[in-house]
Structure 1
Amino acid sequence: MNLERVVFVHGSGTFGAAAWPKQHGLSLDFDCLYLRRHGFATDADPQPTDHERDQEIIADALGDGGHVVAHSHGAVSAMMLAVERPELVRTLTLVEPACLSLTADLPATKAHIELMAPLFAQRHALSDHEFLRSFVRRVSAADARLPATEDARRDAARLRLQSPPWEAPLSIVPGVPTLVLTGGWEPLYEEVAEYLAGTGAVHRVAPGGHRPHDTPEGDALIRAFLRAAGRQAAA
């Protein structure tokens, strides 16, 4: 029996299968691939965001078509591909999507951009740690420790190289069944989710902060959406 393909696209933190610990069991019902976006190699220096290359990576993984599940910044390239190649994307699941260019004029997103844009404007003049420290202070009022391991130093460098998500050329995805899963903790992501719900997406909330897919409730919502789509396709 040929299983339907599901491609998982990570955000800006962990990547590959490590970014989706609760979803590994889906491999019993689907052909699951856990991607590594451009610039996230473990044995090479981080690279700047490249949405076109990320779309190529997702498209190659989809092959003849399948489902896409994307988190945070990974949702940007996933949406872009769904707009450009809707025949490849049977369903789209967006977890806490950082699709901020869609809601740039709405209150929570606008306030976030006003807070973060000055930092991104000067990022090339900052060290990786200086950028990390300022970034963390702005989003959580906490302080960031100096990266102590090689992986942590790579993570800090990668964060500084990520392009501001509000600059991505996004538009809505016509005709692709879409689930938006949020954690109900941050108005910024709820604003994006409600915008997408207004275009036809299904919006669900589960606990877990920025990683609701790590909770039993969030995982169950993703599984139910994918299985319902599979039953519909079979019918």
Structure 2
Amino acid sequence: MAFERAVFVHGGDSFGAAAWPRQHGLSLDYDCLYVRRHGFSATEEPCPTDHGRDQAIIAEALGGGGHLVAHAQGAVCAMLLAVERPDLVRTLTLVEPACLSLTADLPATAAYISRMAPLFADRAAMSDDDFLRAFVRRESDTDARMPASADARRDVARLRLQSPPWEAPLTIVPGVPTLVLTGGWEPLYEEVAAYLAGTGAVHRIAPGGHRPQDTDEGAGLIRAFLAASRLDAVA
């Protein structure tokens, strides 16, 4: 029997299979592909966000269709693809989704945009070092230093080039079973999750900070959601 396809889309840090260490075991039951979004490379220079290219990468990975699992900023292009091609997406799992354009008028998101939008407006004139310091200060009110390693510095350069997630033209995805998994630590993501739950998504919390998929509980919730869809298909 052929395995169902499951495609995993990373967020803004690690990419490919390295971004989903607790999901590798799903390969025993699914045909798992761990994609690399446009501009993410261990050797090439970072590129600005290109949602169109990301959607094409995801669509190619899905092939004839399958399950789509995405984290953080990766949830933006995953939702855009699901809106355009719901026929390819059997289920949609969004982990700590940075789908901020959906909730731009709600309190936590509006406050976040108010803090971060001026920084992104000025980023073209800033060095990577200056941008990192300002970004971290606005995110957590702490100081950051430019990292020494080439890989880490490439990550910082990539961060400065990312498209503000509140600018993505997102709408809800009709007819696609959706799980939203959050860590229960940050009102911003809980606000997005509550909005999506109001449109029919299932919202679950697994304490684990910004990466609940790395915890036993979070990994189990993802596995159970995918398995329930398989059971529905058999029934």
Fold similarity call, TM over 0.5: yes
The one-letter amino acid paired with 1:175 is: G
Task: String of CA shifts for 1:55-91, please: whole Å, max 9, x gaps.
Answer: 0000000000000000000000000000000000000
Aligned-residue Cα RMSD (Å) equals 0.6
Task: String of CA shifts for 1:6-27, please: whole Å, max 9, x gaps.
Answer: 0000000100111001000000
The one-letter amino acid paired with 1:143 is: D
**Contiguous gaps of at least 5 residues in structure 2:** none
The one-letter amino acid paired with 2:223 is: R
* Equivalences for residues 82-231 of structure 1 within 5 A: 82-231=82-231
CA distance in 1 between partners of 2:78 and 2:29 (Å): 22
Task: String of CA shifts for 1:106-130, please: whole Å, max 9, x gaps.
Answer: 0000000000000000000001111
CA distance in 2 between partners of 1:177 and 1:146 (Å): 41
CA distance in 1 between partners of 2:149 and 2:193 (Å): 36
The one-letter amino acid paired with 1:186 is: E
Aligned-pair identity in percent equals 77
Task: Give the C-alpha shift of residue 219 in structure 1.
Answer: 0.4
TM-score under structure 2 length normalisation: 0.99
Task: String of CA shifts for 1:28-76, please: whole Å, max 9, x gaps.
Answer: 0000000100000212100000000000000000000000000000000
TM-score under structure 1 length normalisation: 0.99
CA distance in 2 between partners of 1:230 and 1:42 (Å): 35
* Equivalences for residues 7-26 of structure 1 within 5 A: 7-26=7-26
Alignment match, 1:64: 64
CA distance in 2 between partners of 1:3 and 1:64 (Å): 12
Task: Give the C-alpha shift of residue 221 in structure 1.
Answer: 0.3
**Contiguous gaps of at least 5 residues in structure 1:** none
Task: Give the C-alpha shift of residue 231 in structure 1.
Answer: 1.2
Is 1:35 the equivalent of 2:35? yes
Local SS of the residue matching 1:61: helix
Aligned length: 235
Alignment match, 1:53: 53
CA distance in 1 between partners of 2:153 and 2:41 (Å): 13
CA distance in 1 between partners of 2:9 and 2:234 (Å): 25
CA distance in 2 between partners of 1:104 and 1:114 (Å): 10
Task: String of CA shifts for 1:123-173, please: whole Å, max 9, x gaps.
Answer: 000011110111011111111122201101100000000000000000000
Task: Give the C-alpha shift of residue 234 in structure 1.
Answer: 2.2
* Structure 1 residue runs of 4 or more that deviate by more than 2 Å after TM superposition: none
Local SS of the residue matching 1:122: helix
CA distance in 2 between partners of 1:124 and 1:212 (Å): 33
